[in-house]
């Protein structure tokens, strides 16, 4: 025969079933990243019923594996994040900056 231990619930001194606690923060984080969390919100600034500013925040918190399953993998194609910035474009920009600096120095 099994028994269920009851623990006092906060605030009212009543008794109820104890809630299962996650083993650790790492376990909780693993569960959240595995399932995913969406956080959405809007911030509005109005003055005299005139909307001055609206900020829409949409945050998706998932693991990289879960994001790839969902078809979200923009970081693999972003040259700034993948470290594969176009070297030719970078050289072109450096040459142009050099030309502009030479023109500026010639005008002084």
28 located within any domain: yes
Q: Which two tokens stand for residue 53?
A: 């500013």
Range of the domain at 37: 24-107
Structure tokens at 38: 């969406």
Q: Is 95 helix (H, G, I), strand (E, B) or coil?
A: helix
Residues in the chain: 108
63 belongs to a structural domain: yes
User: And the tokens for 45?
Assistant: 């600034």
Cβ-based neighbours of 41, under 8 Å, separated by 6 or more: 56, 57
Count of domains for the chain:
1
Total-model pTM:
0.39
Q: Are 23 and 31 in contact (CB under 8 A)?
A: no
Has residue 101 been placed in a domain?
Answer: yes
On whether residue 70 sits in a domain, the answer given is yes
The one-digit pLDDT tens for each residue of the chain (108 residues) are 455 555 555 544 555 556 666 578 888 888 877 877 878 888 899 999 888 999 998 888 888 888 888 888 877 777 666 666 567 778 889 999 999 999 888 876
Q: Which two tokens stand for residue 10?
A: 């906060």
- Tokens standing for residue 19: 């809630």
The per-residue b/e assignment along 2-14, b for 16 or more CB within 10 angstroms, e otherwise, is eeeeeeeeeeeee
Residue 7 lies in a domain: no
């Amino acid at each position: 025969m099994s028994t269920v231990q009851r623990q006092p619930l906060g605030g009212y001194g009543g008794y109820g079933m104890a809630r299962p606690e996650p083993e650790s923060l790492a376990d909780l984080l693993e569960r959240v990243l595995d399932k995913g969390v969406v956080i959405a919100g809007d911030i509005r600034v109005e003055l005299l019923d005139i909307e001055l500013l609206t900020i829409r925040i949409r945050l998706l918190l998932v693991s990289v594996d879960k994001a790839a399953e969902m078809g979200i993998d923009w970081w693999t194609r972003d040259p700034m994040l993948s470290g594969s910035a176009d070297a030719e474009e970078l050289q072109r920009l450096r040459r142009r900056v050099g030309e502009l600096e030479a023109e500026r120095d010639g005008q002084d």
